Amino acid sequence: MQRLFLLLLLLIPVAWAADFGFNRNLVIEQENSVLTVDQAFHLQKMQVEGKVITLKWDITDGYYLYRDKTILKAEGMTLGEPQWPTGAEINDEMFGKQIVYYQTLTLPIPFTAQPNAKIATLTVTYQGCQVNGICYPPTTQTLSFDPNQVVPAATNPPLTPPATSTPAPTPTPAAGTTTPPPQAGLDNFFLTIPT
């Protein structure tokens, strides 16, 4: 009887450790499932053609970017009004009614280079959240280009291409979103953003 009692005493810590190890692995797995800001909202490229800068974000499924949390600042150029595509309207717990973007956001921004500017710099601050999950703090990236080396705009497409976004279905659907066909002549000049 004493041997059985001693054996049980020895097995209890082993069983407890096995259970703790399993739970610890679950915690580690959950921590690894949280994406970095760049994985969730990848600012893929900046395209400059004519007098338009186009930014494109690839947004991971299950995440969204806020329109009103996107801030654009420029040096060496003056920015025109960004041409925001139609987004989805949500009622955010923190910020109330917001326009957000799912899957992709393509944002054309007209600009005028300042005279004698050798470098034009665009500072982009943006913020997004995981659907029913965490919200990321604002993130800032700085993008630069030589405004004197910009590819001229093609003659057929408009100087300011239409904005595109692919909103995901939401409980409050956006009114009449469409994705226009690709525009010719928009693949002439890209700046790669290192990650």
Q: CB of 151 within 8 A of CB of 176?
A: no
What pLDDT band is residue 190 in, cutting at 50, 70 and 90?
A: very low
Structural domain boundaries in the chain: 1-31, 37-176+184-192
Question: Rounded distance, CA 28 to CA 33, Å?
Answer: 9
Residue 116: pLDDT above 50?
Answer: yes
Dihedral sign for Cα 53, 104, 192, 69, please.
positive
Fold of 37-176+184-192: Immunoglobulin-like (2.60.40)
Amino acid type, 85 = P
Q: What is the mean pLDDT of the chain?
A: 73
The 3-state DSSP class for residue 26 equals helix
> What band does 66 get if pLDDT is binned at 50, 70 and 90?
very high
The whole-number pLDDT of residue 8 equals: 45
CA distance linking residue 116 with residue 93, whole number of Å:
47
List all residues 6 or more positions away from 165 whose beta carbon is below 8 Å from its beta carbon: 85, 86, 87, 101, 103, 104, 105, 106, 177, 179
Q: Is the pLDDT of residue 70 over 70?
A: yes
Model pTM score: 0.62
Instruction: State the chain's maximal CA–CA distance in angstroms.
Output: 95
CA distance linking residue 40 with residue 66, whole number of Å: 13
pLDDT tens-place string over residues 1-11: 555 444 444 44
